[in-house]
A and B are shown apart, each in its own frame.
Chain A
Amino acid sequence: MTEQAHRIELTVNGTLHVADAPARRLLSDFLRHDLGLTGTHVGCEHGVCGCCTVLLDGEPVRSCLTFAVTVTGRAVTTVEGLAAPDGTMSPVQRAFQKCHALQCGFCTPGFLCTVTALLRDTPHPTEEEVIEGISGNLCRCTGYQNIVKAVHRAAALIAEEAR
Chain B
Amino acid sequence: MKPPPFGYRAPRTLDEAVTALADADGGKVLAGGQSLVPLLNMRLAAPAELIDVNHVAELDTLEADGAGVRVGALARHARVERSATAARVQPLLRRALRHVAHPVIRNRGTVVGSLAHADPAAELPAVLALLGGHVEAVSVRGRRVVAARDLFVGPLETALADDELAVAAFFPAAPPRTGTAFAEIARRHGDFALAGVAATVTVDGDGQAEAVRAAFLGVAEVPLVLDLTEAAASGRLAEHVRERIDPESDIHASADYRRHLAGVLAQRALAKATADALAREAP
Interface residue ranges, A against B (CB under 8 Å) = 3-4, 6, 22-24, 26, 29, 45-47, 50, 53, 56, 59-62, 64-67, 69-71, 114, 132-133, 135-137
Contacts and interface: CB of A to CB of B under 8 A. Distances in A.
B5 A50 contact: no
Max chain B Cβ within 10 angstroms of own Cβ: one of A3, A46, A114: A46
Interface of B: 1-8, 10, 30, 33-34, 37-38, 40-42, 50, 52, 54, 78, 101-105, 107-108, 189-190
B53 to A, nearest CB: 10
Contacts of B41: 26, 45-46, 64
B161 to A, nearest CB: 24
27 contacts: A4-B8, A23-B50, A24-B2, A24-B3, A24-B4, A26-B37, A26-B41, A45-B38, A46-B41, A47-B37, A50-B104, A59-B78, A60-B104, A61-B104, A61-B108, A62-B104, A62-B105, A64-B41, A65-B34, A65-B37, A67-B33, A67-B37, A70-B10, A71-B54, A135-B190, A136-B103, A137-B104
A114 to B, nearest CB: 6
Given A24-B4, A65-B38, A70 B33 contact: yes
A3 B7 CA distance: 9
A135 B1 contact: no
Contacts of B108: 56, 61-62, 65-66
Contacts, number: 87
A71 B34 CA distance: 14
A66 B103 CA distance: 16
Contacts of B50: 23
Given A46-B1, A61-B104, A69 B42 contact: no
A47 B1 contact: no
Nearest to B30: A70
B37 A66 contact: yes
A59 B224 CA distance: 35
A161 B5 CA distance: 48
A121 B107 CA distance: 13
A23 B6 contact: yes
A136 B52 contact: no
A133 B222 CA distance: 30
Nearest to A113: B104
B5 A3 contact: yes
A135 B101 CA distance: 10
B105 A47 contact: yes
Given A23-B6, A61-B108, A47 B38 contact: yes
A56 B54 CA distance: 14
A4 B49 CA distance: 12
A43 B101 CA distance: 18
B8 A6 contact: yes
Contacts of A6: 8
By Cβ-Cβ distance, the 7 closest A-B pairs, closest first, are A136-B102, A23-B8, A46-B38, A45-B1, A65-B37, A24-B3, A136-B104
A70 B54 contact: yes
A24 B49 CA distance: 11
Nearest to A74: B54
A135 B34 CA distance: 17
A41 B248 CA distance: 37
Contacts of B189: 135
Contacts of A24: 2-6, 8, 40
Contact of B52 (A60, A69, A132): A69
Given A66-B33, A67-B33, A133 B103 contact: yes
A60 B102 CA distance: 11
A55 to B, nearest CB: 10
Contacts of B38: 45-47, 65
A22 B103 contact: no
A47 B103 contact: no
